[in-house]
Amino acid sequence: MTQNVKDFLQVLKKRDYRQLRREMEMDVTEETAGKNPYETDAILFRTMLEQESPLILEHDTMGFNRTLRSVPFYRDSHGNKASSDVKRGNLIPDYGFALQKGFDAILTDVEKMLDERGENDFHESVIMVLRAALDFADRYREEARQKGNTRLYHALCHIPHGRPTSFYEACVFMKFLLFTLRCNRNIHITLGRFDQYMYPFFEADLKAGVSEESLFETLEEFFISINFDLDIYFGVQQGDSGQSMVLGGYSVSGEDMYNRLSELCIEASLELNLIDPKINLRISNRTPIQRLEFATTLTRQGLGFPQYCNDDVVVPGLIALGYAPEDAYNYGVAACWEYLVSGNAMDIPNMFTMNFPMVVETALRQELKNCPSFDAFLDKVKEGIRKECDHLMEMAKGREKDGEFTQKSPYLSVFVGACLERGKDVSEGGAVYNNYGFHGAGISTAADSLAAVRKAVYEEKICTAEELLEALADNFEHHVELRNQLLSYPKMGNNDDYVDSLASELMGAYSEYLNGKPNSIGGIFRAGTGSAMEYLFSAARVGATPDGRKAGQPYGSSFSPSITTKLEGPMSCIQSFTKFDMSKIINGGPLTMEIHDTVFRNEDGVRKVAQLVKGFIDLGGHQLQLNSINRDRLLDAQKHPEDHQNLIVRVWGWSGYFNELDKAYQDHIIQRTEFMC
C-alpha cells in the first residue's frame, strides 16, 4: 500500500468529510409546470448537478463526492411532493458502452437520431441530461485546476467528453458515472463485470510501460473513493449500497475470462479491508483449485465475500428462461445476489417474496384436518404455492397500475441496451429484457415443518392434527414435550433425504409454476431462493411452525438451514442444498454458511475451505456465500461498540459495519451456526 493510498484511506475512516454536506430545498415546481414526464425528470437531474458543489478531498485523485443530502422535487396539483428520493435501479448499466464511446460521441449519435426521426420527447431529454452531466464534469475540471490537482485536471480534460486514454482515466470515468447515476436517484447501481470492461485500459497501460504497481495504486484509490458516500446511499441498512462487482467467468466459447485485473481486485480488497466493492467470483468445475484458495484468503479477512456463482448452473438456467446465450454468458449480479445480464436488461429481480412457511401455515389451518395422508397434505401445500404465485403476480400488476414503474429516467436509459436506438425510456420497455423475479424465503423452515408433520401426525402418530394445531396456536407454551419432539425430527442441512426431498418438492412446485409466466411489460417471471431482509420481515408474520420454531422467530438467511438447526458439518450442509436442479430456480439466493475464524489460522484450513467451495460447485450448487465470524467477538462488539468500529460482517447479500446495523440483524448473525471444519 503506497503512502498516498494510506493517507486517502485515513481520510475515509476519519469521516470528517461528512460534515461538509448540506441540506437544500430545491423546488422546481415552476420550472417543470407543463413539461412532459421525460423533460421533468431531466430538469430534476440537471438541478441536482447544478446545485452540487465540486468537492475534491485531501489525497483524492478520483473526485465526484456528494455535498448535498437532499434532492430536487416538484409539487403536484394537490401540493404534494411528486418526486421520490429514489427510483429505478438494481441493474448493471452498460459501462463498456460509455467507456468506449465517451459522452460527446453518444450525444452526437442521439442528436443524429433526433434529426433523422423528428421530434421525440425521450431523445430530447437524453440530450438535456447528457449536457447537464458534461457541464458538471467541466465544473469539476475547473475545481481540480484551481486546487492544483493536476492529475485529476488532465483526466477531466479528456473524459467524460471522450474515451479514456488510460486505466486511471477509466477509473475516474467510472466514478463520474456512479456519482451521476446516484444524483439521478437511481439506487443499488452495481459495478457489473468490472474486470472485463476495464481490462482493455489496464492492458494498454501495461503495454505502454506503466508499472503494475502504479495501476494497483490507482485501483485501490478507486476502491476507496466509492466508499465515501455510503451513508447517504439508499439501503435497508447502512452498507446496503448495491456496489457489487463480478470477476471472472467463462465465455460462450468456453474461454476462462479471469485475468490479472481480476486478481488485483481481490488483492486490493484484501489490503483495504472495506465493505465496497462487494466481490462476486464466477467459477465452474474447471476453475483451478489455486484460484479458490486465493479467494478463500479474502473470505478469511471476514468481509463476507467473495460470493461464488457457478457458471455451470447459472448460464444454462438463464438460457432456459429465454436469455440469449451471449447475454447469459455475460451475466452479473444485482445489489445482493440476483442474477442479471449486463447492460441491456431492466429486470426487477426482487419484486416480491414467496413466503414458504406462510403457505405451509395456511395449509395447516385450512386443510390438515381433512387430509387422510401426508401426500394429500403435500398436494394442498403445492396448491397453496401456486395460489400464492398467482397472488404475487397480480400484486405486480397492481404496482404497474399504480404507476410505480412509469417514472421516466432518460439518463439511466442511456446506459441500458437498446433504449437509445428504440427511442424508449427504461420505464417503457426500452431494454431488451424486462423480467420480474421473486425471492423464496424460509425454504428450510417450510421443509423442516413438512417433515415434522409427516413424522408426528402420519407416521409416529404422537399427536393428532387437532393437537398439533392447538400447540401451534398456543405457541407451544403448554406443549413443551411435543415441541421438543418436533425439534428432534430431521432438519434440512444434514444430508437427510427425508427432509431434503421435501425442500425439492417445494422448490419444484414453485419454479415449475412461476418460471416463464408472462408479466405485463413483455417479460417473464423468475423464481429464486433469496430472502433479503425477509428472513426477519416475512418470518415476523408467521406463527409457530411444526419444526418447533416459535411465532415470529427469524428464518435462515436466503437458501440456508434454519438458524436453530444443529448441523453435523459443512459438507453435509452443502449436500442438502444441492439436491435440487438449481438451474430451475435461478433468480438467485445463496447458500450462506458461517465458518469460525479459527479455521483460517493456517494454510491447511484455507485449503480445506477451498475444497469445500469446489465440492459445492461439483455437486451443482448455484451460489455460495461463506462468512468468517467469531461469535464471542460479535457479542463483545454489542457490549463495547467503541472497540469494534471497523468490524465488518455479511448481513444477507451485502456486507456492512456491525455497529451500524439494527440489533435484530446483529442478533441474527450471532445466532447463525459456526462451522469448525
pLDDT tens column, 471-510: 999 999 999 999 999 999 999 999 999 999 999 999 999 9
- pLDDT tier at 402 (50, 70, 90 boundaries)? low
For residues 651 and 307, the answer to whether their CB atoms sit within 8 Å is no
Q: What is the pLDDT of residues 143-199, one digit of tens each?
A: 999 999 999 999 999 999 999 999 999 999 999 999 999 999 998 899 999 999 999
All residues at 6 or more sequence positions from 565 whose CB lies less than 8 Å from its CB, including other chains: 444, 448, 491, 492, 493, 494, 556, 673
For residues 363 and 380, the answer to whether their CB atoms sit within 8 Å is yes
Q: Give me the amino acid identity at 269.
A: S
Q: State the average pLDDT over residues 381-398.
A: 95
pLDDT at 674: 61
- How confident is the prediction for the chain on average, in pLDDT? 93
Q: State the average pLDDT over residues 566-594.
A: 94
For residues 224 and 5, the answer to whether their CB atoms sit within 8 Å is yes
pLDDT at 629: 82
Q: How far is CA 673 from the centre of its chain?
A: 23
- pLDDT tier at 677 (50, 70, 90 boundaries)? very low
User: Residue 110 has which C-alpha cell?
Assistant: 442521439
Q: What is the pLDDT of residues 600-650, one digit of tens each?
A: 888 899 999 999 999 999 999 999 999 888 888 899 999 999 888 888 888
Q: State the average pLDDT over residues 66-80.
A: 89
Of 255, 199, 208, 224, which is closest to residue 64 (Cα–Cα)?
A: 224
Q: State the average pLDDT over residues 116-127.
A: 94
Q: What is the pLDDT of residues 195-215, one digit of tens each?
A: 999 999 999 999 999 999 999
pLDDT at 513: 98
3: buried, middle or exposed (CB in 10 Å: 19+, 13-18, 0-12)? exposed
d(CA 609, CA 509): 33
pLDDT at 313: 98
For residues 71 and 85, the answer to whether their CB atoms sit within 8 Å is yes
Q: State the average pLDDT over residues 130-155.
A: 98
Q: State the average pLDDT over residues 460-467.
A: 97
